[in-house]
Structure 1
Amino acid sequence: MRSVVLAGLRAHLLRLVLTGLVVVLSVGFTAATLILTDSLDAGSRRELAAGADGVDLAVLAPSDGALPQNEVAAIGAVDGVTAAAPRREATVHTVDADGRIDPFGYARVLAPPLDSAVDGDGVQLDRRSAERLGLGVGDEITVAAEGSAELVALPIAALAEPTSDAGDDPEIVAGWDVVRRFADPAGATRVDLRLAGGADAGAVVAALTAAAPDGAEVLTGDQLAQRLVDGSSQREALRIPLLVLGAVSLIVAAFVIANTFRILVAQRTRELALLRTVGATRRQVLRGVLAESAAVGLAGSLAGVAAGALTALAVGSVLDASLVLTITGTTVAWSVVIGVLMTVGSALLPARSATRVSPLAALQAVPDGADGRTAGRARLVLGVLAMVAGALLQAGGAAAGTSGGGIGLVIVVFGAAVCFLGLLILGSKVVPPLVRVLGAIAARLSGGSRSTAELATANAVRNPRRVAATTAALLIGVTTVAGFLTVVESSRSSVSVVVDGRVPADFAVHTATSEPIPDAVARAIEELPEIGSVVIDGGDVLAVNAADGVDGDDARAAIVAATADHPELSVQSFAQRRADFERDLNEAVNVILAILALALVIAFIGIANTLSLSVHERTREIGLLRALGLTRRQTRVMLGVEAALMGAVAAVVGSAAGALFAWAAVTSVAELEFVVPWEQLAISAAVATVLGVVASIAPGHRAARTSPVVALAAD
């Protein structure tokens, strides 16, 4: 049987290329995610471990407190210790362009390690923040301690690369005396120590234990490095969302692969029957087909790992120029296992169907994909039950309407998955009627090509399971994109509530301290001719509206001038905050849409694959049509209309399903209001339809080149 499998792979190599490409794309995305996050995490761990370089011993403060200055001094004065570096990280507020303390802006102030050149009042700022703020050596960065109205100007003495756990906030390395000003509660969280040459480490540890308070730990440098590494991993924050999106491409790929193998098995019915007549058992036929799928899955998965590594290298070099690619055996193994299991699992049902046909019956013409009456009823019942259960779950989750979504949103997502599964199960019952309807409309609009459009419609619905399976791959992608776009647009339209969640206004005056905004300040703002109304919200926010006909910039300038003596009061423009929110939202949307585009690409390949196999299957039919007068152009148009109909059905059903699922998700979040992005949904639907047409170009070209005489002679 091994030689038969190898011969089958060679004979059908070209037909399996597109299937292998689907595996490459889907596995490549998974592998790229795993490799990229592993590489970023490995780099972070190396940098964090380097933070313990040169440290012989370290004293860690008790978990519920800090080491006060007198204990830090006592630790540094222990015999055998030649250098001590108190370590602490404090969070401070930054200052906005008005010179006011920004209640939403933060910076990290870090105490320097051993042998650091940072000392005195001069600080070290990370280069990324320096470029963003337009600061350099010799300039000052102004900050304020949390809850304080006092501005502190820190002279910048040097610039450095940000640390591995740096976020978007500025990172400031300052001397211990500076850090102490901002630490709350006061004290060091750890003290790094260097021992004198020849010092007895055991004796020093004993002395440190006696000098440190109860609950403090004394670690060696190696133990400190391991402690830093163990608590450092942040890769899951990036890995999990990417893998969830990658799962969409894997599901789409599974449908494409299953559809491809079903057609391949149907086309090889006589070949498999011949194997049965010469002695092959059902088990051998099943194992042979699965072995072919395993070979395709293995080859595609290995190529996908290579493609994923190259992708991770390209993306990683943008995120971190010093990134060293880390490819572990676990990553490779998981990627290959996922690819092979997905391919074999997708081919399992087609392979089993091949073994159910008797040799005698299989040697005759057997219609591809015909459903048995029992199987058709079972599919109908199961699909309806899934859709009803999913709809009820979504309705229940939407009715919750809790703040932030909560459990209601989780129920909605689960219900949407169940409902969509039911839709896929009912695909062979739902898609063909829709194709007929759209085909009739296309025929009426086709004018002189009406007969060609009618023929294309008839061909498309002749095999309900095939057209449903082909449409399903694109349907998943369109539904995901439509639902995501609807949720995003609903969030965008609700931005006023999302950004502040309080009293809508043109401006908000926030205080960075725990003290309420003085009544005198509120009255002074209210008396400004540029201001229409002022509402005190909770004592720490003033909601301010500009007077009718007053320019927003002029009103804001007047508020800033009226609060000139209060650096703790910042003036936030709701319009600016909306713009900032939308900018961040658009950046996230673009990234996710680029990832979801992979699912559409895989669906595109699936349509092209199905049409290509369909052309091969219908060689005699196409030859007969050519002999009866169908021109090459009409042949290409016929296949183009077939693909366009499948794409249009996926676009219509996917857009409607995505919008409905998004409605339930948005309704489950009390702060959001539902908005349908008609223009964006229309664009995504048009893209899906165009993808279908483009996918038909190569199969249509091949079909048009078929000679009627040769085609009629084909078996």
Structure 2
Amino acid sequence: MRSVVLAGLRAHLLRLVLTGLVVVLSVGFTAATLILTDSLDAGSRRELAAGAEGVDLAVLPPPDATLSEADLDAIAGLDGVAAAAPRQEATVHTADADGRIDPFGYARVLAPPLGTSIEGDGVVLDRRSAERLGLGVGEEITVAADGSAELVALPITALADPSSDAGDDPEITASWEVVRELADPAGASRVDLRLADGAGTAAVRAALPGDLEALTGPELAQRLVDASSQREALRIPLLMLGAVSLIVAAFVIANTFRILVAQRTRELALLRTVGATRRQVLRGVLAESAAVGLAGSLAGVAAGALTALAVGSLLDASLVLTVTGTTVAWSVVIGVLMTVGSALLPARSATRVSPLAALQAVPDGADSRTAGRVRAVLGVLAMVAGALLQVAGAAAGTSGGGMGLVAVVFGAAVCFLGLLILGPTMVPPLVRMLGGIAARLSGGSRSTADLATANAVRNPRRVAATTAALLIGVTTVAGFLTVVESARDSVSVVVDGRVPADFAVRTATAEPIPDAVARAVEELPEIGSVVEDGGDVLAVDAAGGVDGDDARAAIVAATADHPELSVQSFAQRRADFEQDLNEAVNVVLAILALALVIAFIGIANTLSLSVHERTREIGLLRALGLTRRQTRIMLGVEAALMGAVAAVVGSAAGALFAWAAVSSIEELEFVVPWGLLALSGAVATVLGVLASIAPGQRAARTSPVVALAAE
């Protein structure tokens, strides 16, 4: 059978190329995610471990405590200690453009590591924040300790690269004296020691009070790495999105092998005639799928590594690509198992080919069988169970630790599984309905549209499987867009519901806003009304006909003596939120586009194989007068119908799933983005049409003489 398998691979090489490309894309995304997160994590570990270089011993206080100045003096005065560097991180508020304390703006102030020192009030600011804030050496960054109304101007003496665990907030390195004044609670989180020549760590450990913990340099490095590694925060969401592409790829691969098995009925029957057993036929088909999966997975790992290098270079120019054997092994295993698993059912159907089939004409692949009664019952039960779970989750809301949302997600998965099971029953009637509409709108090409509709539904299982690949992508995109637009629309509802005003005056301290300030703002001619909300917020409305910028400038002037009071425009807050939301949406949609690309390949693959098995039929139609243009239109309409069905069903399912998810989250209002859903549906339909171009060209080149040739 080995030679038979190799011969089969050579004979059907071109047909398997698109299947291999599907494996490359899906496995490539998985490999890129694993390699990128491994590379970023390895770089983070190296940088964090470097923070412990030169440290002979690190002394830590008991849990939930800090080291006082007396503790630091006592530790620095121990015999054998050559140098001591207190370490602490203070979280402070930054000042906004008005020079006020921003209650939503934060910065990290760090004490310098052992072996470095910063004199006076000068600080080192990270380059990324300096560029974003427009600050440079010689200028000042203004901060305030948490809960304090006193602004502190810190002169910038140097710029440095941000640390590996730096977030979006500015990172400031300052002297211990500055950090000590800003830290809350006061004191050091640890003190790093460099021992004198000849001093032993055991002796220093023994001299420490019993409630203090001492770590060697390597132990400290490991502690820092374990506490700061955040690769799962990036890896898990990406892998969850990648799972969508793997599922879509599985449907495409299964459909491809199902068609290939149907086309090779006579070949398989001849093998059975000359003595091949069912087990050998099964092994042969699975061996072909394993070969495709292995080749595609290896190419996918290579493509993933290049993608990870490109993306990682944008995130960190100094990134060193880290490709581990575990990552390669997992990526290849996932690709091979996905391919072989997807081909398992088609391979089992191949074992049922009778030797007598070798005496029959080669079938055209048509299969008029619809879903059986058991399948229909299972599909309905799954959809009902999933719908009940979603309704229960939506009713539960966020109570019980967010279990309502968990129930919604699980219910959506079960419901969608039922939808896929019912595919062979649901898709053909929808195709006929849309095909009828297309026929009525096509005018003189009605006969061509009718032919396309008949071809699309002649094999219910195949059209359902082909549509399912695109359906998964459209449903995911539609659901995501609906949730995003609901969140976007709810921003105004949530914000205005809490503070229904044009502006909010907030205090950054625990002290309430003085009554004199509230009266001064209320008496401004540019202000219409002022409502106090809880003592720490003033909800301010501009007077009728007053420009918003003028009203805000008046409020800022009235509160000039109170740097702890910030004046916020809700219009600007909403704009900032939408900008952040749009950036996240663009990233997720770019990833989900991979699933649509794989589905596009699946439709092209199905149509290409369908054209091959319908050569005689197309030749006969050409002999009866079907023109090349009509042939291309027929294939295009056929593909458009599959794309349109996926668009309609996927958009409806995605919107319903999103409704349950939004309903399970308090303070969110459900909004249907009709325009975006229509756009995603149009994209799905256009993808179907584009996928038909190459198969349509091939079909159009079919000569009418082919109809007279015997196979």
TM range (shorter): over 0.9
Q: Which letter does structure 2 place at the counterpart of 1:709?
A: V
Structure 1 residue 631 corresponds to structure 2 residue 627: yes
Match of residue 175 from structure 2: 175
More displaced, 667-676 or 586-595?
A: 667-676
Runs of 4+ more than 3 Å apart: 365-373, 401-405, 497-501
Unmatched segments (≥5 aa) in structure 2: none
Q: Tell me the distance in 2 between the aligned counterparts of 1:501 and 1:382.
A: 45
Match of residue 104 from structure 1: 104
CA contact (8 A) 1:403 1:669 kept: no
For residue 621 of structure 1, the aligned residue among 603, 609, 617 is 617
Q: Which letter does structure 1 place at the counterpart of 2:490?
A: S
Q: Tell me the distance in 2 between the aligned counterparts of 1:404 and 1:441.
A: 48
Q: Which letter does structure 2 place at the counterpart of 1:105?
A: G
Match of residue 403 from structure 2: 407
Deviations 1:553-588 (A, max 9, x none): 111111111111110011111000000000000000
Identity across aligned pairs (percent)? 87
Q: Tell me the distance in 2 between the aligned counterparts of 1:378 and 1:42.
A: 51
For residue 269 of structure 2, the aligned residue among 270, 273, 280 is 273
Structure 1 residue 424 corresponds to structure 2 residue 420: yes
Q: Tell me the distance in 2 between the aligned counterparts of 1:471 and 1:393.
A: 26
Structure 1 residue 255 corresponds to structure 2 residue 244: no
Deviations 1:413-472 (A, max 9, x none): 111111111111111111111111111111111111111111111111111111111111
More displaced, 142-151 or 670-679?
A: 670-679
Q: Tell me the distance in 2 between the aligned counterparts of 1:619 and 1:118.
A: 80
CA contact (8 A) 1:623 1:710 kept: yes
Match of residue 552 from structure 1: 548
SS in 2 for 1:570: strand
Match of residue 397 from structure 1: 393
Structure 1 residues 264-343: aligned runs within 5 Å: 264-343=260-339
Q: Which letter does structure 1 place at the counterpart of 2:487?
A: S
SS in 2 for 1:218: strand
Deviations 1:42-95 (A, max 9, x none): 000000000011111111121120010111011111111111100000100000
Structure 1 residues 199-598: aligned runs within 5 Å: 199-207=199-207, 209-210=208-209, 214-361=210-357, 363-365=359-361, 368=365, 370=367, 376-402=372-398, 406-499=402-495, 502-598=498-594
Matched residue count: 710
Structure 1 residue 641 corresponds to structure 2 residue 655: no
Q: Tell me the distance in 2 between the aligned counterparts of 1:657 and 1:380.
A: 18
> How far is 1:363 from its partner?
4.2
Structure 1 residue 26 corresponds to structure 2 residue 26: yes
SS in 1 for 2:546: coil
CA contact (8 A) 1:517 1:540 kept: yes
Q: Which letter does structure 2 place at the counterpart of 1:631?
A: T
Given the superposition, is the C-alpha separation of residues 460 and 372 from structure 1 closer, same or farther in structure 2, using an over 3 Å criterion?
A: closer
For residue 710 of structure 1, the aligned residue among 697, 706, 710 is 706
Deviations 1:685-709 (A, max 9, x none): 1111110001000001011111222
Match of residue 84 from structure 1: 84
CA contact (8 A) 2:471 2:649 kept: yes
Q: Which letter does structure 1 place at the counterpart of 2:37?
A: T
More displaced, 701-710 or 631-640?
A: 701-710
Q: Tell me the distance in 2 between the aligned counterparts of 1:705 and 1:173.
A: 71
Q: Tell me the distance in 2 between the aligned counterparts of 1:140 and 1:706.
A: 76
Structure 1 residue 600 corresponds to structure 2 residue 563: no
CA contact (8 A) 1:63 1:215 kept: no
Deviations 1:465-496 (A, max 9, x none): 11111111111111111111111111111112
Match of residue 154 from structure 1: 154
CA contact (8 A) 2:147 2:508 kept: yes
Match of residue 661 from structure 1: 657
More displaced, 312-321 or 495-504?
A: 495-504
Match of residue 57 from structure 1: 57
Q: Tell me the distance in 2 between the aligned counterparts of 1:413 and 1:590.
A: 22
Q: Tell me the distance in 2 between the aligned counterparts of 1:279 and 1:138.
A: 87
> How far is 1:215 from its partner?
2.7
Structure 1 residue 196 corresponds to structure 2 residue 189: no
Structure 1 residues 38-53: aligned runs within 5 Å: 38-53=38-53
Q: Tell me the distance in 2 between the aligned counterparts of 1:362 and 1:568.
A: 88
Structure 1 residue 123 corresponds to structure 2 residue 123: yes
Q: Which letter does structure 2 place at the counterpart of 1:11?
A: A
Q: Tell me the distance in 2 between the aligned counterparts of 1:565 and 1:231.
A: 42
Match of residue 2 from structure 1: 2
CA contact (8 A) 1:405 1:670 kept: no
CA contact (8 A) 2:57 2:194 kept: yes
SS in 1 for 2:498: coil
SS in 1 for 2:3: helix
CA contact (8 A) 1:86 1:190 kept: yes
> How far is 1:205 from its partner?
2.5
If the length of structure 1 is used for normalisation, what is the TM-score?
0.97
Given the superposition, is the C-alpha separation of residues 103 and 404 from structure 1 closer, same or farther in structure 2, using an over 3 Å criterion?
A: farther
> How far is 1:195 from its partner?
1.3
More displaced, 574-583 or 128-137?
A: 128-137
Q: Which letter does structure 2 place at the counterpart of 1:502?
A: R
Q: Which letter does structure 2 place at the counterpart of 1:55?
A: V
Given the superposition, is the C-alpha separation of residues 118 and 714 from structure 1 closer, same or farther in structure 2, using an over 3 Å criterion?
A: farther
Given the superposition, is the C-alpha separation of residues 426 and 450 from structure 1 closer, same or farther in structure 2, using an over 3 Å criterion?
A: same
Match of residue 140 from structure 1: 140
Given the superposition, is the C-alpha separation of residues 199 and 216 from structure 1 closer, same or farther in structure 2, using an over 3 Å criterion?
A: same
Q: Which letter does structure 2 place at the counterpart of 1:406?
A: G
SS in 1 for 2:228: coil
CA contact (8 A) 2:530 2:541 kept: yes
Deviations 1:571-620 (A, max 9, x none): 11100000000000000000000000000000000000000000001011
RMSD, aligned CA:
1.5
SS in 2 for 1:241: helix
CA contact (8 A) 2:102 2:566 kept: yes
> How far is 1:501 from its partner?
6.0
> How far is 1:534 from its partner?
1.6
Given the superposition, is the C-alpha separation of residues 637 and 369 from structure 1 closer, same or farther in structure 2, using an over 3 Å criterion?
A: closer
Q: Tell me the distance in 2 between the aligned counterparts of 1:323 and 1:404.
A: 42
> How far is 1:362 from its partner?
5.9
SS in 2 for 1:231: helix
Q: Tell me the distance in 1 between the aligned counterparts of 2:399 and 2:139.
A: 44
Q: Tell me the distance in 2 between the aligned counterparts of 1:256 and 1:337.
A: 18
Given the superposition, is the C-alpha separation of residues 460 and 595 from structure 1 closer, same or farther in structure 2, using an over 3 Å criterion?
A: same
More displaced, 132-141 or 604-613?
A: 132-141
